[in-house]
């Protein structure tokens, strides 16, 4: 598409960072008739305001890495509890993890599930960082993106999505994260669900650096996938991207949609996460929650 993702980014920013009335008025006027019909002609939108610069809830690059490893195959609420326990025990640091045995670390992160496996992987990352980069994240991230990514992918339990998350959110590398939510939104809009296309299609005219823009767009697409473009029972009528849905694209026929729940916030239910989760494999990742 000639316009790339500019119109998509604009629509999502307006919806997820603007006030309730503005978003509701914009969508109510522009949504295609076939989608408005399922809403009874009324646009009802929850008040949503995301802080895109702090969408991934972490106070340091290392905390991003801890979260990216612990969130595999579990709900973010379980990870948040584990991170809070690490912080309370004053172990949420490279030095703190380094001083713990796998068994001790496992007890602290038990709430994240698969805690023995994750303790081994987290300790393994710290041990590798000590050996390869003198225990310094800045040295890891000072490398070219391709080199750093290759090293991360060689570690146990770090797949492509987790590696790209670490590079983008912890290392400020311009590597867009392709996940289940992003692929689903793009595919339903008949857009190429490929990283190279996304990175080329992202607008670059306003001076925002690529890594920050990728973080913003990733957050916006994930929230769209969680809240509206669900695998089952998608809420196309309430989706901020409804005006951009090509004619004849998903959904193939107009069908009634459930009314959006006013005030709905936060991560999806456990059932929604299971439906939307990637196949359970090394590196499969869930996502941090929405921020109201």
Number of C-beta neighbours around residue 161 at 10 A: 19
CA 101 to mean position of chain CA atoms: 31
Query: Which residues have a Cβ under 8 Å from the Cβ of 98 and sit 6 or more positions away?
Result: 126, 130, 135
pLDDT category, 32, cuts 50, 70, 90? low
CA distances in angstroms from 271 to 51, 74, 75, 257, 276, listed in the order given: 26, 11, 10, 19, 9
Per-residue tokens: 266 = 């936060």
CA dist 105 and 90 (Å) reads: 12
Q: Quick one: DSSP state of residue 115?
A: H
CA dist 162 and 145 (Å) reads: 14
Which residue carries 């309430």 as its tokens? 238
pLDDT category, 292, cuts 50, 70, 90? very low
Which residue carries 């392709």 as its tokens? 178
Nearest alpha carbon to residue 224 among 3, 1, 13: 13
Number of C-beta neighbours around residue 103 at 10 A: 9
Task: Report, as an integer, the average pLDDT of 139-166.
Answer: 97
pLDDT by residue (tens digit) across 248-277? 777 654 444 444 443 333 443 334 334 443
State pTM to two decimals: 0.79
Task: Report, as an integer, the average pLDDT of 5-29.
Answer: 72
CA dist 247 and 268 (Å) reads: 29
pLDDT by residue (tens digit) across 72-126? 999 999 999 999 999 999 999 999 999 999 999 999 999 999 999 999 999 999 9
User: What are the extents of the domains in the chain?
Assistant: 6-53+190-261
Given this model, what pLDDT does residue 39 score?
A: 39
CA dist 258 and 149 (Å) reads: 42
């Amino acid at each position: 598409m000639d316009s790339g993702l500019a119109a998509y980014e604009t629509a999502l920013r307006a919806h997820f960072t603007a006030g309730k009335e503005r978003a509701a008025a914009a969508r109510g006027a522009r949504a295609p008739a076939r989608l408005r019909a399922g809403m009874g002609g009324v646009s009802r939108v929850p008040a949503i305001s995301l802080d895109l610069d702090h969408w991934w809830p972490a106070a340091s690059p290392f905390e991003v890495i801890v979260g990216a490893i612990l969130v595999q195959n579990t709900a973010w609420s379980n990870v948040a509890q584990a991170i809070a326990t690490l912080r309370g025990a004053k172990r949420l640091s490279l030095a703190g993890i380094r001083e713990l045995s796998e068994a001790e670390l496992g007890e602290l992160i038990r709430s994240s599930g698969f805690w023995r496996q994750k303790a081994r992987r987290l300790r393994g990352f710290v041990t590798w960082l000590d050996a390869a980069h003198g225990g310094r994240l800045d040295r890891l991230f000072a490398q070219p993106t391709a080199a750093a990514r290759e090293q991360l992918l060689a570690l146990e339990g770090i797949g492509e999505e987790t590696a790209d998350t670490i590079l983008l959110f912890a290392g400020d590398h311009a590597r867009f994260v392709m996940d289940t939510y992003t692929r689903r939104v793009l595919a339903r809009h008949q857009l190429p669900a490929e990283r190279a296309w996304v990175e080329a299609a992202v607008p670059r005219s306003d001076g925002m650096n690529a890594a920050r823009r990728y973080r913003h767009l990733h957050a916006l697409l994930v929230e769209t996938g969680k809240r509206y473009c669900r695998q089952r029972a998608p809420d196309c009528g309430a989706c901020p991207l409804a005006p951009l849905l090509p004619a004849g694209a998903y959904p193939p026929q107009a069908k009634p949609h459930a009314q959006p729940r006013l005030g709905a916030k936060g991560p999806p239910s456990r059932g929604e996460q299971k439906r939307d989760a990637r196949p359970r494999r090394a590196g499969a990742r869930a996502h941090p929650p929405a921020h109201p």
